[in-house]
Structure 1
Amino acid sequence: MPTKPPTPSDFPSHLTVTITPPPSQPPSSSTRPTPNILLLLHGLGDSASSFTSFARALNLPETTCVTVQAPHPLPFDLPGFHWGDDVTFDRSTGGLDMDSGFGRATRLIVEDVVRGVLVRKCGYRLREVLVLGFGQGGMLGLVAARELGKVPRVSSAEEGEEEGGKTKEDAGELAGVISIGAPYPLSGSTTGPKNRTPVLLVASRDSAAVTDSAVQRTRNGFEFVELHRWARKGDGMPRSREEMMPVMQFFARRLRSRQGVPEDAVEIT
């Protein structure tokens, strides 16, 4: 299947999605699709709009950024949205707990967004999709990567295809997951083999979420986990070029490039 650029109309109507093309490609362009998809998942109490601004600021070449808004608004007239199965409070801080289960959100990202649109409609392979999430969005990104690594049960009726229409190509490793300020959640399962999707954890030196035990839990679920801690205190998004450097270095290692490749070239796998 030839690859095509994703558009908002490709996604289910119940999702709020924004598409940010690379800097050299205008939104209305119908040129050759980019070799990379960066899936952006915002944090607890945020929305797609701020992460769309972040996508533009990244200015990544040959990369289409897809920003998805969490489906559930916060209760009590609080601003923003959340990814959790429920809204719970952290007893130690009194604030909202990031880890409130990700069953519904995982199905949404895995089946509706990645497999349903990026793979089946647009023709991308999993290793051409990289996820960056902040806080609760980072937890969800890690859980989704684990789920995408599970090989679907193949029907005996037709080799290579499952009864539900899934194929072996629907499972595998992503290009990577960057989780800012959040580890693999306690609510997630780490049973089974380790996932081979490369992971970058970025957090402050005193992060309340990314503790040593939380880092070990993440390493129990993934084979390749890189940890980078900022010198400053307090969790949050990167605030300086120095804090963004490990993220940009990860992009440089994991994103693909077609520069210098002829237009009609065929990749042999």
Structure 2
Amino acid sequence: MVSAPEHIDLVVGEAASPSTTSPRTKPVPQAPGIPVPFSYAASDDGTDENLLILLHGLGDTHLHFAKLGRQLRLPQTATLALRAPERIPFLYDEEAFQWYESFDALGELLTRPNPTPALDLLGKVLAYLIRECSWSARQIHLFGFAQGGSVAAELGVRWWREHASDAEPGSVALGSVVSVEGPLLSHPTLAQPSPTPVLVFHHTAAQLPPAALGSYRKGYGAVREAEVRGSGGMPRSKEDWQEIMRFWSEVLGRRQAGDLYEVLSGGPSQQKFQN
């Protein structure tokens, strides 16, 4: 079980530029455009200025993360929880999925997995959301846990590599990435790192690989580390979530409503997550 505070106050400030051209409410995604099971929830306050895509860990499904997204109640933020495409071999009677092939024939974890199939799928999902659902790249924010965190981080790098020359950098980079105990699987070589802000969250007892932060800084120009006390897993305490909420308060866009800041209380309750 993951324990987190029932109420977290989040004030979204002026740091992130709001979109003035996209509609206030966005079309609901449909199954043909997203080829895996998913759960979508529009923003509680009626303004879809940000889209938070949640990616679960190895052996889980999207259902816990769909509930988490709704409980967070981030200001002006819709949520989209996606289920990984592949069922884990040998666990056909369980709802246990993986973003990419993770085990060898003996059931041992692969030391150098290939996330390309997941990145191909998620790249198509992003293109669909931008083309058909009126989101811009900078309005899309990724949150992933463990394997889902690695996929989120790799997706941000790949998206930037493929689209950096399309237009102004601020319009094609994704809004942000939060990776909870998910290292990059590659060592990016980019002419210019992605400007997407990244938060790498982990507990002290769940150390990232030694070169993990170095790899992140090769792929991204703005990387923040949040190391908190604990044994690993999803954020549990109010202090854990405050690190992530502080980051979101700086990167989420806000559509103006007069001169007032939007403040909502929210936060996840107890959930069970797989890594």
Normalising by structure 2, report the TM-score: 0.76
How far apart are 1:200 and its partner, in Å?
A: 0.2
Match of 2:121 in 1: 108
Deviations 1:57-111 (A, max 9, x none): 2111210001111011111025411101x2326x9xx86458621101101111x
1:20 aligns with 2:41: yes
Match of 2:134 in 1: 123
| CA RMSD in angstroms, aligned pairs only | 2.6
Match of 2:50 in 1: 36
What letter corresponds to residue 221 of structure 2 in structure 1?
A: E
Give 1:212's match in structure 2, choosing from 193, 210, 213.
Answer: 210
Distance of 1:203 and 1:82 partners within structure 2: 21
Give 1:69's match in structure 2, choosing from 80, 83, 107.
Answer: 83
How far apart are 1:172 and its partner, in Å?
A: 2.5
Q: Which runs of 4+ in 1 moved over 3 A?
A: 1-4, 94-99, 151-154, 167-171
**Cα distance change of structure 1 residues 152 and 130 upon mapping to structure 2, 3 Å threshold:** closer
Distance of 1:122 and 1:9 partners within structure 2: 9
Match of 1:87 in 2: 102
**Cα distance change of structure 1 residues 21 and 98 upon mapping to structure 2, 3 Å threshold:** farther
How far apart are 1:204 and its partner, in Å?
A: 0.8
Match of 1:203 in 2: 202
How far apart are 1:230 and its partner, in Å?
A: 1.1
How far apart are 1:23 and its partner, in Å?
A: 2.5
Q: Secondary structure at the match of 1:64?
A: strand
**Cα distance change of structure 1 residues 218 and 40 upon mapping to structure 2, 3 Å threshold:** same
Answer yes or no: is the 8 Å Cα contact 1:18–1:68 preserved in 2.
Answer: yes
Answer yes or no: is the 8 Å Cα contact 1:98–1:136 preserved in 2.
Answer: no
Answer yes or no: is the 8 Å Cα contact 1:36–1:255 preserved in 2.
Answer: yes
**Cα distance change of structure 1 residues 153 and 60 upon mapping to structure 2, 3 Å threshold:** closer
What letter corresponds to residue 137 of structure 1 in structure 2?
A: G
Gaps spanning 5+ residues in structure 2: where? 1-20, 260-275
Distance of 1:245 and 1:132 partners within structure 2: 15
Q: Secondary structure at the match of 2:84?
A: coil
Q: Secondary structure at the match of 1:150?
A: helix
**Cα distance change of structure 1 residues 114 and 216 upon mapping to structure 2, 3 Å threshold:** same
**Cα distance change of structure 1 residues 6 and 42 upon mapping to structure 2, 3 Å threshold:** farther
Answer yes or no: is the 8 Å Cα contact 2:205–2:229 preserved in 1.
Answer: no
Identity %: 27
Distance of 1:212 and 1:53 partners within structure 2: 33
